[in-house]
Amino acid sequence: MTVKIRDARYAGTVYEKLPSLPQVAFVGRSNVGKSSLINTLLGRRSLVKTSKQPGKTRNINFFEVDLVYHGPIYMVDLPGYGYARVPQGMKSAWDELAARYFRGNRDLKLLLVLIDIRRSPGPEEEMLLDLARKDSIETAVIATKADKLSLSARMKRLREIREALSVEPITASSHTRLGIEEIWKRIIDETSARQD
Ligand SMILES: Nc1nc2c(ncn2[C@@H]2O[C@H](COP(=O)(O)OP(=O)(O)OP(=O)(O)O)[C@@H](O)[C@H]2O)c(=O)[nH]1
Ligand SMILES: [Mg+2]
């Protein structure tokens, strides 16, 4: 599948009143690779700021992506959760920000839950998937940074993620572009206008 991107630009944060468009949101632990994945999907090196330091993304940022033959959508970059060095006060700030974003958001069409392929899924991932399913929002689990493991180690980790969350994860890497086409396919499928 070839996706043609006409334009991609920063559109604003969750605090602004933005025009209504289908949204695809990227969530996951701090440092899992959310911002990098958006850049890789868009073929842009640094539209979204990334960092080795966990906790880089502090707000909910909307990127408007205009797709040829498809129209505009938002890719929504959420701050990471589970950053150990963040004081307790900040953890509830994440909850508040996320609640503000998710509550009654009818434009959210697909929630991409990212998990570092080297980690086991935790209660946060289960909670996010449950939350989305309750609101009939489509979800996909993405095992990130696959380039960090050998093929056999990958298989083992994937099995664990599959068993813990009862879903088939998409294996991905922003460095090798593994899984990028498959993710685009889900994005296009779920943000197309449907008569259902
Ligand atoms: N090897 C490898 N490194 C990656 C990959 N994706 C991201 N990284 C690295 O992981 C670090 C964190 O990436 P980010 O994209 O900033 O992660 P994030 O989830 O947006 O982090 P927060 O904004 O802090 O929540 C950076 O140093 C990236 O270069 C990948 O696919 N492979
Ligand atoms: Mg980020």
Please state, rounded to an integer, the average pLDDT across all residues of the chain: 91
Ranges in the chain, pLDDT < 50: 195
Quick one: pLDDT at residue 162? 97
pTM of the model as a whole: 0.94
Overall number of domains in the chain: 1
pLDDT at 95: 82
- What spacing in Å lies between the alpha carbon of 17 and ligand 2's midpoint? 22
Query: Cα–Cα–Cα angle for 83, 87, 88, nearest 5°?
Result: 100
- Asked, for residue 55, whether it belongs to a domain, the answer is yes
Return the best residue to mutate from 31, 154, 183 for the ligand 1 pocket (most ligand atoms within 8 A of CB): 31
Identify whether the C-beta of residue 86 lies closer than 8 Å to the C-beta of residue 75: no
121, amino acid identity: P
CATH code of the domain in which 146 resides: 3.40.50.300
Q: Give residue 28's pLDDT.
A: 95
Instruction: Give the number of the atom of ligand 1 that is nearest the alpha carbon of residue 77.
Output: 20
In what helix (H) or strand (E) does residue 13 lie, and over which residues does it extend? strand 5-13
**By residue range, what is the domain housing residue 175?**
5-191
Could you tell me if 17 and 128 are in contact, meaning their C-beta atoms sit under 8 angstroms apart? no
Q: Which pLDDT does position 177 carry in this prediction?
A: 97
Whether residue 117 lies inside any domain: the answer is yes
Q: Is residue 48 domain-resident? A: yes
Residue 196 lies in a domain: no
Nearest bound ligand to CA 142? 1
- Whether ligand 1 lies within 6 angstroms of the CB of 82 is answered as no
